[in-house]
Amino acid sequence: GDIVLLAKPVTLTEGDRVTLMTDVPVATDGTSKPEKLLYAVSLPPVHGQIEHINYPGVPISSYSQLDVVAQKVSDVHDNSHGAGKEALR
């Protein structure tokens, strides 16, 4: 079926952590199985990383819609200079 992805920028300041919610990345592929809908991080944040909350400090390159629904994924700023909007891609 068709895949629809809606994403909005996440704004972080130095050292911030934002848990991704379904209003940031939300996608649908016509099925009702969020555990099978996967996101791939093709362009990581410039000043930080995407992490699973069970493994802090470890960047991840993919996560499921179920992880987002369960609030298990965070965008973490690395304390470097340069805060701004990070678009999830």
> Comparing C-alpha atoms, which of 78, 73, 77 is closest to residue 61?
73
Residue 3's contacts (CB-CB under 8 Å, 6 or more residues apart) are 27, 28, 29, 30
Residue-level pLDDT at 89: 43
16-59 residue pLDDT tens: 888 877 766 666 666 667 777 888 888 888 888 999 999 999 99
Place of tokens 């994924």: 73
